[in-house]
Amino acid sequence: MCEQGEGYYLLKMTHVFNVTTSILGQPWRWRGNVTPGGDLDGRGEDELLHHLFRARGANPDDFARLKAPTLRDWLPDPSIFQDMDVAATRLADAIAAQETIVIFGDYDVDGATSAAVLIRYLRSVGATVGHYIPDRLLEGYGPSAGALVALKSSGADLVVTVDCGTQGYEALAAARAAALDVIVVDHHKAATQLPLALALVNPNRLDETDEAAAHGHLAAVGVAFLLAVALNRTLRTRGHFADRPEPKLTHLLDLVALGTVADVVPLTGLNRAFVTQGLKVMRARRNIGLTALIDVAGLFRPPACRDLGFALGPRVNAGGRVGKSDLGVRLLTTEDPAEALALAQELDRLNVDRRAIEAEVTEDALTKANPDSNMAVAVIAGEGWHPGVIGIVASRLKERLHRPTIVIALQEDGTGKGSGRSMPGVDLGAAVLAAKDAGLLIAGGGHAMAAGLTVAADKLEALTLFLNDNLSGAVDTASTVRALHFDAAVAPRGVCLMLAETLEVAGPYGQGWSQPRVASGPWTAVDCRIVGEHHVKLVLSGADGARCKAIAFRHADTALGAALAGARGRAFYLAGRVKRDDWKGEPSAEIEVDDLAWA
C-alpha cells in the first residue's frame, strides 16, 4: 500500500502530461482549469478532497458539509415550493376522511421510487392508498384522460401523479371535469401555462422563487420525499401522531437514493445528502423488496453509488421497458419476502431480455447513424425497434457520435416514439418543449440531459432541422471545449488502494459531480486480452516497480481497444478512474480506462 503523497505529480501546465491529442483525439486538461495546489506530500487527505471540490465549482464555505452530506445541512423547508402546502393539506384531509388515494407513476426507476416513497409513507400513517402505472406501449408516458376518469369511476378520491403530469393538459382538464382532485409531483421542464391540477409541486415551474428553483436538479423522487416531509409536519400539527408512532422519514431514503442516481440527475446540493444517507439506509436492508433485488443482482457487499445506476436501476427499469409496468412499484412496496423474491427474480429475467433487445437495436441504429453528419443533433429512426430500449440506445449512440442523440421507434400508426440524451451544456428538454410549441410534436418534454417525444413520421425531417437550428450554437460550444478532464496525475506507484479510498470520500459521484479521473504512467502492458462483452483487460507494469490491473469496458472494437492491444513494448500514459477491486476478497486498486496517450 502506498503512503499518502507517494507517486503524486504536480503538473503546472495546461495539458496533463503534456497530452494535447490522445489516441481518441482529446486534449488532457485539469478539470475546471484548477491545477492541484501542491504535490500533496504530507498534506493529507483534505488537500486532495478540497482540490476535488474546487474543481467541481464548489463554494469553499460548503467544503465541510460536502465531505459528509447530511439532511440537516441540506434539506430546505418544503414550504418554499409553490403549492407544497396546498398538496400537504389536501393529502392530510384525505387521510382524515379515509378517502382513497391513488399514486399515478411513470414506468421508469424515478417514477417507481417516487410512487413507492409516497405509498410507503401513506400506509405508515393509516391512509388508504393504491397505485396505477400506465403501460409504456399501450398508454404511453404520463396521465391520460381515459385513465384518470376510469380511476374516478372506480372509487379514487384523490390522484397524485409522480414523475409526470406537468405537461398533462388534456388529462388534467378531463379529471377536473370529472370532479377528481389531482396533485402533480414532478421535476420535468414546465411551460408558462400549467395544467389544471389542484396542486403542482415542481421546482422547475417558471414561477418559482430563486430559493426553490435552486432545487431544480432534484429527481421526482426527491420532490416526493419533500412532499412526505411537508405532509408529516402537517399531520403532526393536527395531532395525528397522538395515538400512533410517527414514521421515520429517513427510512425512505434508500428509495430516494436509488431514484436519484438512476435518473441521472446532478449529484449536487441536496441530492448528495439524499444519496449519501440513502446508501446507509440501504445497507441496513430494511426494504424487503430492495433487499431481494440486491441479492438477486449478486451484490454480496454493501451497495455503492455505482451499483444503483448499473445493477439495481436497470432491473427496476426492465419491468417498464419490456415487461409489466408496475413490477418495480410492487417490488419496492411489498412486505412479503416470498413475493419480493419472486418479483426480483422476474425483473432480473426481464433485464436479461432487455439487454438482448438493446444490443440488437443499438447495432441496427449504428448502421443508420451518420458519424460525419454536420447536424447538431443526431435523429435516428427505425421500424421494428422496441420503444422500451430507445433511451438506452440513445445514450450509447450519444457516446459514439459525441452529440445529442434522439432515437425514434417508428410505429405502424405513422407515429414515432422517441427518447433523447444530451451532453453537458446542451438543454435538450427545453428544445423538445420548443419543438412541441412549434407544432412539430404530438407530445414531448424532459429535462436538460434527457427528453422523450412522440412525433408524426412525416415531420421527422422538419424536427431534425428545428433541433439543429435551436441547438447548433450550444452543441458547437460544448464540442469546442470537449476535452478529457483530470483531478490528479500520478506515477505508477501512486495508483493504490489508499488513493481509491480517498477519492471515494468526495463522493457520491454521478451526473454533475463527475467521478475523479486520474492520469497515470508511464506504463507498459504485461498482458492484454478480451474478456466478457467486448472488454479489454490488462496487466500493467511501471518503471518504478508498480503492478496494476486495468480494464476498458466495451472498447474491444474501438480505436482505444486497438491501441491497448498493440501497446506491448511501448510506454504510455493512461486516463481513467482508480477504483477499489475486491475480486476474490483481496482488495486492490484497478484502473477503469478512458483513454491512452503514448509517452
The verdict on domain 73-280 having CATH code 3.90.1640.30 is: yes
State the pLDDT at residue 37. Answer: 63
Question: What's the pLDDT band for 42 if we cut at 50, 70, 90?
Answer: very low
Find the Cα–Cα–Cα–Cα dihedral 460, 163, 306, 69, rounded to 10°.
130
Could you report the per-residue pLDDT of 475-495, keeping only the tens digit for each?
A: 998 877 678 999 999 999 999
Q: For domain 8-60+484-598, give the fold.
A: OB fold (Dihydrolipoamide Acetyltransferase, E2P) (2.40.50)
Could you report the per-residue pLDDT of 56-104, keeping only the tens digit for each?
A: 999 999 998 998 899 999 999 999 999 999 999 999 999 999 999 999 9
Residue 550 forms beta bridges with which residues? 538, 591
Could you report the per-residue pLDDT of 356-389, keeping only the tens digit for each?
A: 999 999 999 999 998 888 899 999 999 999 998 9
State the pLDDT at residue 137. Answer: 77
- The residue written with cell numbers 439524499 in the block is 274
Domain with CATH 3.90.1640.30 in the chain: 73-280
Question: What's the pLDDT band for 39 if we cut at 50, 70, 90?
Answer: very low
Torsion sign, CA atoms 84, 88, 89, 90: positive
Question: What's the pLDDT band for 320 if we cut at 50, 70, 90?
Answer: confident
Question: What's the pLDDT band for 267 if we cut at 50, 70, 90?
Answer: very high
Question: The C-alpha cell of 510 is what?
Answer: 454521478
State the pLDDT at residue 434. Answer: 95
Region of 317 on the Ramachandran plot (φ > 0 left; ψ -120 to 50 alpha; else beta): alpha
What are the DSSP calls for 97-154, one per residue? TT-EEEEEE-SSHHHHHHHHHHHHHHHHTT-EEEEE---TTTT-SS--HHHHHHHHHT
State the pLDDT at residue 322. Answer: 87
CATH of span 369-478: 3.10.310.30
- Per DSSP, the three-state class of 207 is coil
More confident residue, 439 or 10: 439
State the pLDDT at residue 4. Answer: 44
Residue 474, C-beta contacts closer than 8 angstroms, at least 6 positions apart: 376, 425, 426, 427
Average of pLDDT values for 388-408? 93
CA 565-567-568 angle, to 5 degrees, is 105
Could you report the per-residue pLDDT of 496-509, keeping only the tens digit for each?
A: 999 999 898 899 99
Could you report the per-residue pLDDT of 216-256, keeping only the tens digit for each?
A: 999 999 999 999 999 999 999 999 999 999 999 999 999 99
Please check the confidence at residue 8 and state whether its pLDDT lies above 70: no
Continuous H helices in 388-534: 390-401, 428-437, 460-480, 497-505
Please check the confidence at residue 537 and state whether its pLDDT lies above 60: yes
Domain with CATH 3.10.310.30 in the chain: 369-478
What are the DSSP calls for 72-105, one per residue? HHHPPPGGGSTTHHHHHHHHHHHHHTT-EEEEEE
State the pLDDT at residue 6. Answer: 53
Give CA separation, 341 vs 208, 262, 330, 508, in Å: 43, 21, 11, 28
Residue 386, C-beta contacts closer than 8 angstroms, at least 6 positions apart: 321, 322, 357, 361, 409
Residue 45, C-beta contacts closer than 8 angstroms, at least 6 positions apart: 4, 502, 505
State the pLDDT at residue 44. Answer: 54
- Percent with pLDDT over 70 in the chain: 96
Indicate the average pLDDT of the chain. 93
Please check the confidence at residue 112 and state whether its pLDDT lies above 60: yes
State the pLDDT at residue 300. Answer: 87
Question: What's the pLDDT band for 38 if we cut at 50, 70, 90?
Answer: very low
Q: What percent of the residues of the chain are helix, what percent strand, and what percent coil, each to the nearest 5?
A: 45, 20, 35
Please check the confidence at residue 205 and state whether its pLDDT lies above 90: yes
d(CA 111, CA 282): 19
Please check the confidence at residue 111 and state whether its pLDDT lies above 80: yes
Average of pLDDT values for 456-475? 95
Q: 9-13, 172-176, 263-267, 276-280 — which is least confidently predicted?
A: 9-13
State the pLDDT at residue 13. Answer: 64
Distance of CA 460 to the CA centre of its chain: 28
State the pLDDT at residue 527. Answer: 94
- Percent with pLDDT over 90 in the chain: 81
- Nearest one of 63, 17, 56 to 34, comparing CA atoms: 56
Could you report the per-residue pLDDT of 554-576, keeping only the tens digit for each?
A: 899 889 999 999 998 899 999 99
Residue 146, phi then psi, degrees to nearest 5: -60, -45
Could you report the per-residue pLDDT of 12-37, keeping only the tens digit for each?
A: 567 899 999 999 999 999 998 888 76
State the pLDDT at residue 371. Answer: 85
